[in-house]
Structure 1
Amino acid sequence: MKELDVILKNIKNKEVLPIYFFHGEESYFIDLAVKALEHDFLTEDEKAFNQTVVYGKDTSYHEILSLARQFPMMGDKQVIIIKEAQDLRMAESESNALEAYIQNPVPSTVLVFAHKHKKLDSRKKVTKSLEKAGMLFLSESIRENHLPKWIADECLRSGIKTAPNISHLLAEYLGNDLSRIANELNKLKIILKPGEVLDGKIVEEHIGISKEYNVFELQKALGTKNANAAFKIAHFMGKNPKNNPFVMMLSSLYNYFSNVIIYHTMAGQPPQAIASQMGVNPYFIKDYAESARLYPLKQATRVISILREFDMKGKGLGAVNMSEAELIKELVYKIINVDKIRMKV
């Protein structure tokens, strides 16, 4: 959410809007904003009389707006928070009622909607009215190639010093679950001694990432065609499917080999330009250069086809009764031997 820092600053300074309608696929940013309005705006005494929290499945827009039109007791403002607002029914009458309230909100009420996991329909009049009034805030998911930078920025914000590859390692292992990432970083901040640098050893010890057996290391082994290491890692990951989700592994490998293809298509251009196109730190370009040498363009393209094949197998199509452990081993075999495998037309 681009406006998040401004929203949090304004809440701290007691400068709030009459309506905040948070919506979008990324719940983490919505949770941060709602938490600030729930815990940091009113005093504890004021909350007892002037703060109401309801859930979308248990209420309606008409009931919410009726509450919003009431006046605060023993204070200047009341806060009404609707969590899980995506469960609210919005038929024509509800939409019209909210539209009317947007045009004339009660100044002493702060009305907060937490509409998670999906966006409001941009075609609807009420959405356009909220946007025009500056009361609509979109929380978008972070693209996977931007995730390491977000993690690095969060580490910087938290005062955590990191080794060069740590943000990528955390991104590969934790995926784009921002809440989980934030929780792990908070845990590490408590653990780290003053001036201590967060490296792979600390991550492995305190987050449970095996430096030797994780998707990041599998990617590295496949990228260098180190068959022994790749099969060893695949065996371990197959024994621990909960810690190594097959879907996440496929996604990581897909991104990696897509970047190998980008390296081929941009061969001869400055490393900084190639890294920018890939969305990675220039530090990792040498790894892609090595993988591009071992996987010519035709083979890298075949790997993408193999990954798509195993995405379907992972969903039970063409791989009946195959465990994730068996799928991982077969996948690793096919990638390592991509130069020998004849692709189906």
Structure 2
Amino acid sequence: MKELHLILKNIKNKELLPIYFFHGDEPYFVDVALKSFENDVLTEDEKAFNQTVVYGKDTNFSEVLSLARQFPMMGDRQVIILKEAQEIKMTDKEAKALLQYAENPVESTILVIAYKYKKVDARKAFTKALSKGKMLFHSEKLKDHDVPKWIDQELRTLGLKAKPNIPVLLSQYLGTDLSRITNELQKLKMILKSDENVDEKAIEKHIGISKDFNVFELIKALGKKDEVNSFKIAHYMGKSKSTSLIMAMGSLYNFFSNLIIFHTMKGDSPQNQASVMGVNPYFLKDFAEAAQFYNLKHCTRCISILREMDLKSKGLGAINMTDSELLREMVFKILKVDQYKVKT
């Protein structure tokens, strides 16, 4: 959610809107905002009289709006927070009432509505009114390739220094669950000393991701056509319960897609190359090395191999093959890509 930092800043400065309607399929940003509204708007004494939290399964919009129209007791403002609003089946009457309230909210009330895991209907009149008043906030899931950038920002926010490959490594193994990623980063913040950096050893020790046998190291080994290490890493990953074949294929797909871009931008500045590829310039040396072993034709063949493995992982063309076996077959074919014939 692009507006999150501004919302948190405005809460701190007590520069508040009368309504905040959060919606979208990424719950993490909504939860962060709700926590700040609960903890940072009113003092502890004010909360006893002027802060109310209700849940969608236990109420309806008519009751919530009735609370919102009340005036604060022994204070200047009240905070009404509706969580899990997506659980409410909104009637036409309630939609009309919400529209009326959005057009004429009570100034002494801060009404916060969390409509999580999906988008609210943009065609509704109240939605349009909220949007016009800049009181509607969309919490959208990050795309896979944006997660490392987000992790990097969170590391900086926490004051943690990390090697450039760490955000990528964490995103590959923790996926796109931002809450889980945040918990792991918070854990590192508490455990590591002020002069310690987040590196592969810290990740292995405190999060459980092997510093030697992971997707990142597999890509590096394949990029060098290092057969011994590639098969060694694939073997270990195949035995590890934390390894996802789909995740590995996705990471390799991104790598070879970027390697194609690297080939086509030969002679361009490193800054432009990194920008177009969406990677840290630190990684360009790895692409330069891989480009010596995989020409453009080989890159497109590798992507074909990955598509073939994807189909097999879904039960098409593979009889009783485990993910571990598919991973080893994928590694073998990529290493022998100059001999690989694309299936038609």
SS in structure 1 opposite 2:337? Answer: coil
What is the rounded CA distance, in whole Å, between the counterparts of 1:141 and 1:54 in structure 2? 25
What is the rounded CA distance, in whole Å, between the counterparts of 1:320 and 1:137 in structure 2? 47
What is the rounded CA distance, in whole Å, between the counterparts of 1:156 and 1:96 in structure 2? 45
What aligned pairs does 1:194-343 form with structure 2 within 5 A after superposition? Answer: 194-241=194-241, 243-343=242-342
What is the rounded CA distance, in whole Å, between the counterparts of 2:173 and 2:7 in structure 1? 31
- In the alignment, does 2:78 pair up with 1:78? yes
Residues 223 and 290, structure 1, Cα contact 8 Å, conserved in 2 = yes
What is the rounded CA distance, in whole Å, between the counterparts of 1:246 and 1:48 in structure 2? 51
Cα pair distance change 1:316/1:48, threshold 3 Å: farther
Deviation for aligned residue 1:312 = 2.9
Cα pair distance change 1:278/1:91, threshold 3 Å: farther
Residues 310 and 331, structure 1, Cα contact 8 Å, conserved in 2 = yes
What aligned pairs does 1:120-159 form with structure 2 within 5 A after superposition? Answer: 120-159=120-159
SS in structure 1 opposite 2:54? Answer: strand
What is the rounded CA distance, in whole Å, between the counterparts of 2:308 and 2:20 in structure 1? 44
SS in structure 2 opposite 1:115? Answer: strand
What is the rounded CA distance, in whole Å, between the counterparts of 1:110 and 1:59 in structure 2? 18
Counterpart residue identity of residue 81, structure 1: I
Deviation for aligned residue 1:164 = 3.3
Deviation for aligned residue 1:265 = 1.7
- Percent of pairs identical after alignment? 62
Deviation for aligned residue 1:320 = 4.9
- In the alignment, does 2:30 pair up with 1:25? no
Counterpart residue identity of residue 319, structure 1: A
Q: Which residue of 2 aligns with 1:173?
A: 173
What is the rounded CA distance, in whole Å, between the counterparts of 1:220 and 1:124 in structure 2? 50
SS in structure 1 opposite 2:74? Answer: coil
SS in structure 1 opposite 2:316? Answer: coil
What is the rounded CA distance, in whole Å, between the counterparts of 1:66 and 1:263 in structure 2? 59
Deviation for aligned residue 1:91 = 4.4
Q: Deviations over 1:106-139 (max 9, x none)?
A: 2222111122232223333322211110101122
For structure 2, the 5+ residue unaligned runs are: none
**Paired residue total:** 344
What is the rounded CA distance, in whole Å, between the counterparts of 1:73 and 1:320 in structure 2? 69
Residues 69 and 109, structure 2, Cα contact 8 Å, conserved in 1 = yes
Counterpart residue identity of residue 24, structure 1: G
Deviation for aligned residue 1:157 = 1.7
Counterpart residue identity of residue 247, structure 1: I
Residues 301 and 340, structure 2, Cα contact 8 Å, conserved in 1 = no
Q: Which residue of 1 aligns with 2:184?
A: 184
Q: Which residue of 2 aligns with 1:193?
A: 193
Residues 164 and 280, structure 2, Cα contact 8 Å, conserved in 1 = no
SS in structure 1 opposite 2:338? Answer: coil
SS in structure 1 opposite 2:111? Answer: strand
Deviation for aligned residue 1:300 = 0.9
Deviates more, 1:213-222 or 1:50-59: 50-59
Cα pair distance change 1:316/1:67, threshold 3 Å: farther
SS in structure 1 opposite 2:235? Answer: helix
Deviation for aligned residue 1:60 = 2.2
Deviation for aligned residue 1:275 = 0.8
Residues 225 and 294, structure 1, Cα contact 8 Å, conserved in 2 = yes
Residues 145 and 280, structure 1, Cα contact 8 Å, conserved in 2 = no
SS in structure 2 opposite 1:216? Answer: helix
TM-score after normalising by structure 1: 0.92
What is the rounded CA distance, in whole Å, between the counterparts of 1:16 and 1:283 in structure 2? 41
For structure 1, the 5+ residue unaligned runs are: none
Cα pair distance change 1:264/1:102, threshold 3 Å: same
SS in structure 1 opposite 2:195? Answer: coil
Q: Deviations over 1:276-300 (max 9, x none)?
A: 1011111111111222221111121
Cα pair distance change 1:113/1:320, threshold 3 Å: farther
Counterpart residue identity of residue 278, structure 1: M
SS in structure 2 opposite 1:197? Answer: coil
TM-score after normalising by structure 2: 0.93
What is the rounded CA distance, in whole Å, between the counterparts of 2:265 and 2:160 in structure 1? 35
Deviates more, 1:189-198 or 1:199-208: 189-198
List, as ranges, runs of 4+ consecutive aligned residues in structure 1 with deviation greater than 6 Å: none
- In the alignment, does 2:97 pair up with 1:97? yes
Cα pair distance change 1:299/1:91, threshold 3 Å: farther
Cα pair distance change 1:247/1:270, threshold 3 Å: same
